[in-house]
């Protein structure tokens, strides 16, 4: 009985680890969101991403690893 419990726990743990650490999918240009409007705020998060807030929608727009790809918050905020 203990052996079966260990196998089940290890299998469940592996499934969780694989699902959490999978890579972020790359979105093709045809499937990407495109929206125009007035940007009201630009922020960064702990993961080096950049978040844009727009005036016309409550939706937040995210650039994954934007700071790692040499985008600068001060420069984005000025323009």
Per residue in 58-72, pLDDT tens? 889 888 888 888 888
| Euclidean distance between CA atoms 12 and 14, whole angstroms | 5
Contact 42, 76 (CB under 8 A): yes
**How far is the C-alpha of 75 from the C-alpha of 77, rounded, in Å?**
5
64: in domain: yes
Residue 3 lies in a domain: no
Query: At residue 43, does pLDDT exceed 80?
Result: yes
The answer to whether position 46 is within a domain reads yes
CA distances to 2, 70, 71 from 42, rounded to whole Å, are 53, 15, 12
Q: How many folded domains does the chain comprise? A: 1
- Asked whether residue 5 is domain-assigned, the answer is no
Q: Does some domain include residue 15?
A: no
User: Is residue 38 a part of any domain in this protein?
Assistant: yes
Mean pLDDT of the chain: 87
**Domain assignment of residue 6, yes or no:** no
d(CA 58, CA 44): 17
């Amino acid at each position: 009985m203990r052996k079966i419990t260990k196998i089940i726990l290890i299998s469940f743990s592996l499934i969780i680890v694989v699902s959490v650490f999978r890579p972020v999918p790359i979105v093709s240009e045809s499937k990407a969101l495109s929206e125009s409007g007035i940007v009201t705020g630009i922020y960064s998060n702990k993961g080096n991403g950049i978040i844009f807030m727009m005036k016309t929608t409550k939706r937040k727009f995210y650039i994954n690893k934007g700071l790692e790809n040499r985008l600068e918050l001060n420069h984005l905020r000025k323009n």
